A and B are shown apart, each in its own frame.
Chain A
Amino acid sequence: MKRAIALLALMATTAATAACSGSGGGAAPGAAGDGQVVLRWSTWGTADDIKLYEGFTRDFEKRHPNIKLKLESVSDYADYHPKLFTQLTSKTAPDVFFVGDDNIGKFVSSGVLTPLEGLLAGPDSKSRPEDFFEGIYGGAKKDGRIYGVPNDTNPEVLWFDKKALKEAGIGENPADLYAAGQWTMDKYLDMNAELKAAGKAGSIFWNWYGSTYSVINGFGGKVWDGGRFVATTDAGARKALQTLAKGYQDKTFLSADVLPESNSASTRFLKHDAGFYAGGRWVIDSLRKGGELDDYDIVPFPSPDGKPMPGAVAASYMAINKDARNPKEAFTFLTEFVSKEGQLLRLKGGGAVPSIKGAEQVVLDGYPQHAQTFLDVRDTGFANYPDEVAVPGLTAAINDELLKVWTGKVPFDQGMTELQKAVDGMTS
């Protein structure tokens, strides 16, 4: 009997010890010592990406000694949202978190985010709703309510290699053509054909909506119309997709997703093997590591008639958990993080474009020559379609179906039928 009592006591002690060790010394959740509030926030990114936040964190904690920031990061974007989702359903999510533009619609419709329009317009706000460009709210805005603030952006532009174009016998500069209102889809495709004839790739695209939908726009096509996915039936869009499929198969275009790591998109571009590379401001990082900066410049995606048109803008959003333990402090952090000052501090030397008006000097630091293009595309561009981002996994499913067409695994017509079927299956 004594042994039984001793055993029970041991079990009880073990349980108690485990309980203590798991709760950080018994402090209330979200609270540190001396009345200090611990604010949990999460984002994705590599160690290098995360370093960009160190300066802001130090500065913020100095100005708000009552708040201690605790960053919970996930290195891979693909793993970030499943983790966040699990945390939200189990009520263990951080107070503040990033949400990608392909998932924001789902979180908005699920009602797990705090509506922010009142707070953003309030006296404590350092980032008013109108400080952000309308087009980049994307799925973060619904029925006039704001559920996420664009923390920064990456407008999709065409980087071009002046040396590669010259080697292919192309004398015209795409940026000059754009300035003259002559940067048309026909002109762009002619350049790609000339690059191909010179033994180079015309363009390298990542298989995502930013590139694909920009090309569709360049053909005057529609992707979504009246809540319905029409890219497979709209004449312009279908022609664009057909051009892309043909280009991928005769190697005029390369899909960065399937290039081997040793000869990746960045490597090909640095080796002057391709004329154009579709990407955001982040391409600067690759060029700085191994390229002659002066060889490269940027231009928006071409339009049917040479007139400027809206381009795709990759965005991510900062949102507040509806069940945040410290909502007041959470908003203080959010509004300062996305504010002009916050973005100036965070994006200095980084590869993104500020999402707020007034922080443009970060981008206009002298490189590339037409850096203003980043801002023009951001100011008039669009984040992924709300109809698309409202359905989890839809963008990924569209990309998967398109990749089968790009790689020639599925003939074009069959690919379009399967694409429409996949979209209908997920949206019905």
Chain B
Amino acid sequence: MAAIAKAPARPARAGRWVRTRDGWWAGLFLGPQVAFLLVFLVLPLGYAVYLSLVQWDGFGPKTFVGLGNFTAQLTDADFLRAVWNTTKLALITVPVGLALAVLIAAGLAGIKGSNFYRVLYFMPVVTSSVAVALIWQVILADDDNGVLNSTLRRFGLDGPDWLGDPGWVIVAIAIVTVWSSLGLNVVIFLAGLQTIPPQIVEAARIDGASSARIFRSITLPMLSPTIFFSTVVAVISSFQAFDQIYVLVNPAHNEGARTIVYQVYKLGFKDFQFGMSSAAALILLVLTLLVTLVQFAAQKRFVHYDS
């Protein structure tokens, strides 16, 4: 009996050993990532929360002000304008960018030599954002060298001062953002399209469905998880827009181009108000979280995971 009772003990010890050994390996591989997250994400975030509660110019002593920085920012006309500019940018770039990407991906899915076009559309994604901004500066300039306005003038149209007019600058930024992110979205949607079983499309075609009907009733619903993913990513990246705008337009000279991240940068590194800057950054974080939560709540109605 005893021998029988002891018999399973050996494999059990071996299993624990295997589990322990696996645990060590897992720890070894996960350790650097966890350390990285702690050092470069959790700690700075915690420090930003602390800074948002104090008044600090970067050198002198810190004065505790409670939620004063938050209320100051939420009632500050410049910050509210930045929130509005950022929202406008997201409202233009996300639907336009994704709709264009879906259409282009659907078009590319069925044609020969689509790889060439994939490369073509993807090129702006791998181009430095500074280079992209500098090229578009020439295209959008409101002078004799401005490619877009010169072209419009040939057709008798008078284009706006894209980069100088605060009312138009967000549109100009949106054009550049859509252009530079289009390739990535096209590639993601092409991958999404490949997950649609061809037999479903084929069956619909045999039933006499037109291409438009197939696109509306099969492609779009089955692509909805990919669209949802891309929407979340696109919204987050429009809320974080900064580098391209900073080079394309000098937001210091054009209030229409001041986004939330620019405001965070200006408050911290130009005005030396690190408490205010941290509060603005945290408001951006909360805003992004809220919008993402709304998107996740809304996806239950629009996203179809069944094949």
Contact = CB atoms under 8 A, between A and B. Distances in A.
The answer to whether A and B assemble together is: yes
Interface of A: 4, 7, 78, 81-82, 85-86, 88-89, 106, 110-112, 257-258, 260-263, 392-393, 396, 400, 403, 426
A89 B58 contact: yes
A114 B145 CA distance: 48
Interface in B265-294: 265-266, 269-272
Contacts of A89: 58-59
Interface in B15-29: 24-25, 28
Contact of B161 (A110, A111, A257, A260): A260
Nearest to B142: A260
B272 A392 contact: yes
B158 interface: no
Contact of A106 (B161, B266, B272): B272
B58 A110 contact: yes
B141 A260 contact: yes
Given A4-B28, A85-B58, A110-B58, A393 B270 contact: yes
A261 B143 contact: yes
Contact of B269 (A85, A110, A257): A85
B250 interface: yes
Nearest to B58: A89
Given A7-B28, A86-B269, A260-B164, 18 more contacts: A4-B24, A4-B25, A78-B252, A82-B269, A82-B270, A85-B58, A85-B269, A89-B58, A89-B59, A106-B272, A257-B253, A260-B141, A260-B143, A262-B144, A392-B271, A393-B271, A396-B270, A400-B252
Contacts of A78: 250, 252
A102 to B, nearest CB: 10
Contact of A261 (B141, B266, B269): B141
Interface string B227-253: 000000000000000000000001011
A426 B267 CA distance: 12
B268 to A, nearest CB: 8
Nearest to B268: A82
Nearest to A264: B143
Nearest to A106: B272
B59 A393 contact: no
Given A7-B28, A110-B60, A392-B57, A262 B272 contact: no
Contacts of A393: 266, 270-272
A261 B266 CA distance: 25
Interface string B43-63: 000000000000001111000
Interface in B137-160: 141-145
B250 A85 contact: no
B77 to A, nearest CB: 9
Given A110-B59, A258-B164, A392 B141 contact: no
A261 B140 CA distance: 12
B59 A111 contact: yes
A88 B272 CA distance: 13
B146 to A, nearest CB: 8
Given A110-B57, A110-B59, A262 B271 contact: no
A417 to B, nearest CB: 13
Contacts of A110: 57-60
B59 A263 contact: no
Contacts of A82: 265, 269-270
A76 to B, nearest CB: 9
A396 B250 CA distance: 13
A40 to B, nearest CB: 20
A426 B271 CA distance: 9
Contacts of B60: 110
Contacts of B253: 257-258, 403
A209 to B, nearest CB: 15
Given A89-B59, A111-B59, A396-B270, A262 B143 contact: yes
Contact of A112 (B59, B141, B252, B269): B59
| Smallest CB-CB A-B distances: 5 pairs | A262-B143, A82-B269, A393-B271, A110-B59, A392-B272
Contacts of B161: 260
Contacts of B265: 82
Contacts of B250: 78
13 contacts: A4-B25, A4-B28, A81-B270, A82-B269, A85-B58, A85-B272, A112-B59, A260-B142, A260-B164, A262-B144, A396-B252, A396-B270, A403-B253
